[in-house]
A and B are shown apart, each in its own frame.
Chain A
Amino acid sequence: MASAAPKMEPPDDQSAGAAFRRYELNGSYDEMFRSADVPRKQYRQLYTQLLNLGPDELRRSKQEADQSFFNQGITFTVYGSDKGTERIFPHDLLPRIITAAEWETIERGLTQRITALNLFLKDVYHDAKIIEDGVVPAKIVYTCKHYRREMRGIKVPRDVYVSVVGTDLIRTPEGNFVVLEDNLRVPSGVSYMLTSRRVMKHIFPALFRKCRVRPIEQYSQVLLSALKSLAPEGRTEPTVVLLTPGSYNSAYFEHTYLARQMGIELVEGRDLLVHDNIVYMRTTFGLQRVDVIYRRIDDDYLDPLVFEGHSALGAVGLFNAYRAGNVAFANALGTGVADDKAIYAYVPKIIKYYLDQDPILENVETLLMSDAAQRDHVCQKLDEYVVKAVGESGGYGMLIGPHSTESQRDDFRARILADPRNYIAQPTIYLSTAPCFVDGTIEPRHVDLRPYVIYGDNITIVPGALTRVALRKGSLVVNSSQGGGSKDTWVLQN
């Protein structure tokens, strides 16, 4: 902690890294610095620029960026307020930079991983060979909260279960990217990747050009063509829609943004109706057939006939239309079984099983609490581990051992013992740090990396990502629901 009162800056200190005065490396991998005051090659342009800009200029840029976010309406709704309060998504001014070589590894690794997970989903909902062969235990699969019995034997278009994936990567202190979490259900955040790029181009045009940053603007086209490829046979001009829970949802901005970017209709459940297993939307012209639904609603709420009976977000009969092959969902239903945190521990084996390859991106070591020996070990050393509930996301239901109190640990120990299948533990990993502009100076903050993978005719990963930042000093939690923010992520041309 910087406990000393801020000192008046001697004038001759201006050039000698004044901007980085409070930049303390803490043992995590630092994205920018190899060692104190020695920037990595890919960050040299940025480093020089930051040395030349005074804090006032940075502050002005930050204000300009904030204003730009606000004017574009890049906001999220704050729940529990009837005054229509909207805030801009917290973001950091300084870009996170990834080299061409690093990106190449990420791209290969994610392609391999998503290919295998998609094969796994197809297998689990059909012959379940992987279970028969004893690679993944039946108990773990069938007790998974997001396993959907209703999906058994259903043929999904082109066998693509996961059209959009947002995988969370972190960088270990050794500098390797490893996978922390797969998000195969309804990953969000891509609108922040796209809009913050637009803002950054405006704020740092010269730097942007000098760095030779690869473009990401094609994301919407790539996504639209992947969605169209799922259309039922014979529907040559398919109607694709984005299904949103409505304007009260915190991600509503993203839904409207993507619908507009792709030029597709933004529908709510009440706009849809199903007749003879065909899905229609109600327009002023009459009913219009819907072929592909990019749904931003969880499985549970899609069809009250099959899932949550009281849900008003979906539409009655959607699932039967889906089963009849008259409409496609992206992502398919039941994909949550493959991003369950207990299944996660088996992903290296899953990759080996289907592709006969070693994983390019490693997993984080994961202990299953359903295993008695591992459970005993973790329960004794809870202050060293991160414990997560398997079906949760968004940073909820999580214990970070080293930052926890005795009573929190007791609470989690009791919860683990009560329902071991529901928990996993991972050693606490100190995510890499990246420079952030905080309170007028540049300080390191922990970051992760979420690239977006689109599975259409083949797997495409636009060269960019959402870098999420734990804006609170020392915090390891990057989720936006827990005080995280974002950064633009620059993938460099070779």
Chain B
Amino acid sequence: MLSRVADSLYWMSRYFERADNASRVVEATYGLILNPAKFSADERWFRAVSSLARGTTSSDIDPQHALFLLVANPEGVFSIMKCISGARENARQVREEISSEMWEQLNRLFHEVNGADLQPDDDSGAMRVVNLVREGAYRFHGITDTTINHGEGWHFIQLGKYIERACNLSILLDAYFSVDKNADDLDWVGLLSSCAAFEAYCKVCTAELRPERIADFILLQPEFPYSVRYALDRMHHALTSISNRSLSRRTGKIERLIGRLRSAVTYVQIGEVIRGDLHMYLAAIIDQCRELHAAVHEVYIEYPIEVAFES
């Protein structure tokens, strides 16, 4: 497969996952601010924004406009609309590589979202867009799984989706746990809903909301699609499938990186993590995901030609 094509598929998928994640976080946060709590609405909005755009400080954000900012801000790099455009733009470059059903779904969603023509104070309009994206995402995932050959291109799509998910979940956990002293039950429900995990959590751990169990579920649960562990396992599967196809390439570095990442979530107890430095632990996962991204880019997409001529 052409490197450019693989790169576009990967980014299409990453942008789409980013929009999907943002829509869930925004929806959960919007549900939270309607209730009085120790946290003010402003603080909750700030938590949402910082979980979507790592490194934002409270002075960057005007809570009154946070919803608009997250959904439709034409300038921000992380608004839902921007992400949907990014996904579509990448898909457009490789239309022949994805199924027409995938293109149609993505294109339709893009037009619906863009056609909404949101104004900064139109909360219900913004929430309609959020809903469109959330439902559109489930549909897109289903179509992607069922309408294309699960070959190399599909594995790059999977890789993009799960690397984005692993990072997003880690940032989200960090945002919630860094201020957990003031958190009440509703906040924990908010965290679980942001990961589409509330019902699944209740089934596995009952409705008793204990922060440690919640962290365990979102971080280490191997069987839930919106857990870090699950995402890393899928990344590993995608990377192995890709490297199995290219026998002579230098994939050692990639294997080491993904192996280390997986062991970080496979062989730990949640107690150690929580009692230790959770923030550092999550930051390490995010940094290693970045390293992995760079390594994949270097091996498959933009390798130096000197390397290509060795061997």
Query: Chain A: residues with CB nearer than 8 A to chain B?
Result: 73, 83-84, 246-247, 256, 259-260, 265-268, 270-271, 273, 275, 280-287
B249→A285 contact, CB < 8 A: yes
**Residue of A247, A281, A286 touching B246 (CB-CB under 8 A):** A286
B2 touches which one: A73, A256, A260, A267 (CB < 8 A)?
A267
Given A84-B107, A256-B95, A260-B96 in contact, is the A268-B4 Cβ separation under 8 Å? yes
Whether, in the assembled complex, B6 has its beta carbon less than 8 Å from a beta carbon of chain A, the answer is yes
29 A-B pairs, CB-CB below 8 angstroms? A83-B111, A83-B114, A84-B107, A84-B110, A256-B95, A256-B96, A259-B96, A265-B2, A266-B96, A271-B3, A275-B305, A280-B308, A281-B2, A282-B2, A283-B2, A283-B3, A284-B1, A284-B3, A284-B6, A284-B152, A284-B242, A284-B300, A284-B301, A285-B249, A286-B248, A286-B249, A286-B303, A287-B305, A287-B309
Pair A84/B2 contact, Cβ less than 8 Å: no
B92 at the interface (CB under 8 A from A): yes
Q: Kindly identify which residue among B2, B92, B303, B308 contacts A271, using a CB–CB cutoff of 8 Å.
A: B2
Distance between A328 CB and nearest chain B CB, rounded to angstroms: 20
Closest to A273 in B: B305
Measured between beta carbons, the chain A residues less than 8 angstroms from B114 are 83
Which of chain B's residues have a CB closer than 8 A to the CB of A270? 4
Bound together, the chains give a CA A467 to CA B80 distance in angstroms of 46
Residues of B within 8 A of A283 (CB): 1-3
Q: B263 within 8 Å of A by Cβ?
A: no
B119 at the interface (CB under 8 A from A): no
**How far is A247 from B1 in the complex, measured between Cα atoms in Å?**
18
The docked-state distance in angstroms from the alpha carbon of A273 to that of B4 is: 13
Known: A246-B93, A280-B308, A287-B309. 4 other contacts (CB 8 A): A247-B93, A275-B309, A285-B249, A286-B246
CB neighbours (8 Å) of A265 from chain B are 2
Report Cα–Cα, A283/B152, bound state, in Å: 11
Q: Does B100 count as interface, using CB distance less than 8 angstroms? A: yes
CB distance from B200 to the nearest CB of A (A): 35
| Cross-interface CB contact of A84 among B6, B92, B248, B300, cutoff 8 Å | B92
CB atoms of A282 and B107 under 8 A apart: no
The residue on A at minimum CB distance from B302 is A282
Residues of A within 8 A of B300 (CB): 284
Is B275 an interface residue, CB under 8 A from the partner?
no
CB distance from B9 to the nearest CB of A (A): 11
Task: Report the bound CA distance from A259 to B152 in whole Å.
Answer: 19
User: Which of B95, B152, B308 meets A287, CB within 8 Å?
Assistant: B308
B38 interface residue (CB < 8 Å to A): no
Shortest CB–CB separation between residue B86 and chain A, in angstroms?
14
Q: Which 6 A-B pairs have the closest CB atoms?
A: A282-B3, A284-B300, A285-B246, A287-B308, A256-B96, A284-B6
Say yes or no for B245: interface residue by CB 8 A criterion: yes
CB within 8 Å of A: which of B255-311?
300-301, 303, 305, 308-309
Kindly state the separation between the CA atoms of A259 and B96 in the bound complex, as whole angstroms: 10
B240 to chain A, nearest CB (A): 14
For residue B153, which residue of chain A has the nearest CB?
Answer: A284
User: Complex formed: what's the CA distance from A275 to B3 in Å?
Assistant: 17
Chain B residues with CB below 8 A from A256, complex form: 95-96
The residue in chain A whose Cβ has the minimal distance to the Cβ of B4 is A271
Min CB gap A248→B, angstroms: 10
Query: Are A282 and B246 in touch, CB under 8 angstroms?
Result: no
**In which size bucket is the chain B interface?**
20 to 34
Please give, as numbers and ranges, the residues of chain B lying within 8 Å of A260 by CB-CB distance. 96
Which residue of the partner chain, among B88, B110, B111, B308, contacts A286 with CB atoms under 8 Å? B308
**How many angstroms from the CA of A285 to the CA of B6 in the assembled complex?**
11
Chain A residue at minimum C-beta to C-beta distance from B110: A84
Q: What residue of chain B has the Cβ atom nearest to residue A255's Cβ?
A: B96
Q: Which residues of B contact A246 (CB under 8 A)?
A: 93
Residue of A nearest to B155 (CB): A284
Shortest CB distance A212–B (Å): 34
A276 to B, closest residue via Cβ: B309
Interface string of B1-21 (1 = CB under 8 A from A): 111101000000000000000
Determine the residue in chain A with the shortest Cβ distance to B103: A73
**Separation of A270 and B245 alpha carbons in the complex (Å):** 23
Q: How far is the CB of B81 from chain A (nearest CB, A)?
A: 13
Contact of A73 among B100, B249, B303 (CB under 8 A): B100
CA distance A285 to B4 in the complex (A): 12
Q: B171: shortest Cβ distance to chain A, in Å?
A: 29
B309: chain A residues within 8 A (beta carbon): 275, 287
CB-defined contacts of B88 to chain A, threshold 8 Å: 84
- Give the distance to chain A from B198, nearest Cβ to Cβ, in Å: 37
For B6, the chain A residues whose CB sits under 8 A away are: 284
Closest approach, in angstroms, between the C-beta of B156 and any C-beta of chain A? 8
A282 to B107, CA, bound (A): 28
- What residues on A are CB-neighbors of B92 within 8 Å? 84, 247
Kindly list chain A residues whose C-beta atoms are within 8 Å of the C-beta of B3.
Answer: 271, 282-284
> Is the pair B246, A284 in contact by a Cβ cutoff of 8 Å?
yes
Bound complex: CA A84 to CA B29 (Å): 33
Q: B215 → chain A, closest Cβ, in Å?
A: 36
Give Cα A268–Cα B4 distance, bound, in whole angstroms.
9
Bitwise, B66-91 to A at CB < 8 A (1) or not (0) is 00000000000000000000001000
- Among B3, B6, B95, the one with the most A-chain Cβ atoms within 10 Å of its Cβ is B3
- Complex: A259 Cα to B95 Cα, angstroms: 13
Contacts of B107 in A (CB 8 A): 84
Interface-central residue, B2, B300, B303, by most chain A CB under 10 Å: B2
* A residues near B2, Cβ cutoff 8 Å: 265, 267, 271, 281-284
CB distance from B159 to the nearest CB of A (A): 11
B95 touching A247 by the CB < 8 A rule? yes
How many angstroms between the C-alpha atoms of A83 and B88 in the bound complex?
11
Q: Which B residues are in CB contact (< 8 Å) with A83?
A: 111, 114
The residues of B that contact A281 with a CB separation of less than 8 Å are 2
Mark B47-68 against chain A: 1 for CB-CB distance below 8 A, else 0: 0000000000000000000000
Known contacts: A275-B305, A287-B305. The answer to whether A282 contacts B96 by CB under 8 A is no
Residues of chain A contacted by B111 (CB below 8 angstroms): 83
A275–B249 CA distance with the chains assembled, in angstroms: 19
* Distance of B51 from chain A, by nearest CB (Å): 31
- Inter-chain CA distance A460–B305, complex, in Å, is 40
A271 contacts across to B, CB distance below 8 A: 2-4
Contacts of A247 in B (CB 8 A): 92-93, 95
Taken together as a complex, chains A and B put the C-alpha atoms of A283 and B111 apart, in Å, by 32
Q: In the complex, A290 Cα to B216 Cα: how many Å?
A: 51
B87 to chain A minimum Cβ distance, whole angstroms, is 13
Cα-based distance from A270 to B7 in the complex (angstroms): 13
CA distance A287 to B309 in the complex (A): 8
Residues of A within 8 A of B242 (CB): 284
Residue ID in chain B nearest A260 by CB atoms: B96
Q: Kindly state the separation between the CA atoms of A282 and B299 in the bound complex, as whole angstroms.
A: 11
Interchain nearest-CB distance for B294 vs A (Å)? 16
Nearest-CB residue, chain B, relative to A256: B96
User: Quick one: closest B residue to A268, CB to CB?
Assistant: B4
